[in-house]
């Protein structure tokens, strides 16, 4: 790992993926400063001034002090929201949180260093309609898709397909129902249930069902690709593997050259150094793109297959150079 300086870790306190990166950086004797927005402003303070074309200053928590000029790269891993005194009024809390985002967050994005992933670009890349368009534009095969709040349009789309229909949320939906943790996954839709009046309540995404031999989680880091087959042995896992991790078996695989090229072109188009891609592989061996997560989990793949994804992330964080527009 070349260069000098700290890797700043911005992540939730109990993120297991982040823990893997921190452990590997520690093994390489790379200095790490780990922080979470939940520490700000009660246990994390900042002071910085602009001198010439650079910001100079420090971050301080109850463990150590970081010289901002020493930051060589930032690993951005879903940091949580700032925490303010409980007695603070709701309106004041709202203003303070906005100022923390644009002030503290803005200061960090102004540092001339490398980010994985760049937060602005990662936020844009979360939009599924954008992902699907870019994937198709770079030559990957994308399922037929409809986005609508018109029940009649959903019915017409279902009738135009030769096979089943799938509903997918645009963003992970998780919460608590009657005291139990609940999540919304991809689900098969009976065309006979359409049109359904609930569709009119908000935007919905429907896709053709793609027959699958198995799925693939492909993780790309700094131009390197790591792919693993996911074989789900339950009905729920066959529809959406995230719904039943216990049913999985994994196998390392190599993507077809055209898929590997498309993946790298898509990340370049989105301005991302990292992406966790999901594909369906049909019984005929065709790879169909489903989605890419710019900060997706990879630890379960590495643990099951031994693919050196953590090492690749740390290699990228340690390289010289920077992203000018994170």
In the sheet that holds 114-116, the strands lie side by side as 32-35, 6-11, 71-77, 114-116
Decide if pLDDT at 59 tops 80.
yes
Question: What interhelical angle do 16-27 and 309-318 show, nearest 10?
Answer: 60
Count of residues making up the chain: 326
- Cβ contact 43:288 at 8 Å: no
Are the beta carbons of 58 and 33 closer than 8 angstroms?
A: no
Which distant-in-sequence residues (6+ apart) come within 8 Å of 123 by Cβ? none
* Least confident stretch, 47-51, 61-65, 225-229, 311-315: 61-65
Which of these ranges, 20-24, 131-135, 194-198, has the smallest mean pLDDT?
A: 194-198
pLDDT at 128: 95
CA atoms of 24 and 299, how far apart (whole Å): 13
CA 162 to chain centre: 32
Read off the pTM.
Answer: 0.88
* Phi, psi for residue 102 in degrees, rounded to 5: -80, -25
d(CA 233, CA 73) in angstroms, rounded, equals 40
User: Tell me, what's the pLDDT at 7?
Assistant: 95
325: CB partners within 8 A, 6+ apart: 118, 120, 271
pLDDT value of position 1: 42
């Amino acid at each position: 790992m070349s260069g000098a300086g700290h890797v700043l870790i911005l992540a939730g306190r109990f993120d297991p993926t982040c823990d893997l990166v921190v452990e590997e950086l520690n093994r390489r004797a790379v200095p790490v400063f780990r922080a979470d927005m939940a520490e700000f402003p009660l246990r994390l303070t900042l002071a910085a001034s602009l001198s010439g074309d650079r910001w100079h200053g420090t971050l301080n928590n109850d463990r150590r002090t970081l010289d901002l000029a020493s930051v060589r790269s930032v690993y951005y891993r879903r940091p949580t929201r700032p925490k303010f005194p409980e007695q603070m009024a709701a309106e004041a809390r709202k203003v303070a949180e906005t100022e923390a985002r644009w002030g503290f967050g803005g200061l960090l994005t102004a540092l001339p260093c490398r980010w994985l992933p760049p937060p602005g670009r990662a936020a844009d890349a979360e939009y599924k309609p954008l992902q699907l368009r870019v994937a198709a534009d770079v030559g990957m095969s994308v399922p037929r898709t409809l986005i609508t709040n018109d029940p009649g349009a959903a019915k017409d789309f279902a009738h135009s397909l030769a096979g089943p229909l799938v509903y997918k949320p645009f963003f992970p939906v998780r919460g608590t129902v009657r005291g139990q943790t609940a999540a919304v996954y991809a689900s098969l839709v009976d065309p006979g249930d359409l049109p359904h009046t609930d569709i009119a309540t908000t935007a919905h995404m429907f896709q053709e069902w793609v027959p699958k031999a198995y799925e693939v989680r492909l993780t790309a880091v700094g131009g390197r690709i790591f792919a693993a087959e996911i074989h789900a042995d339950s009905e729920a896992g066959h529809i959406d593997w995230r719904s039943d991790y216990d049913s999985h078996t994994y196998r390392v695989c190599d993507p077809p050259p055209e898929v590997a090229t498309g993946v790298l072109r898509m990340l370049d188009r989105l301005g991302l150094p990292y992406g966790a891609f999901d594909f369906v592989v049909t019984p005929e061996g065709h790879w169909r793109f489903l989605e890419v997560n710019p900060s997706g989990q990879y630890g379960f793949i590495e643990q099951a297959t031994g693919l050196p994804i953590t090492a690749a992330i740390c290699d990228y964080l340690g390289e010289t150079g920077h992203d000018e527009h994170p």
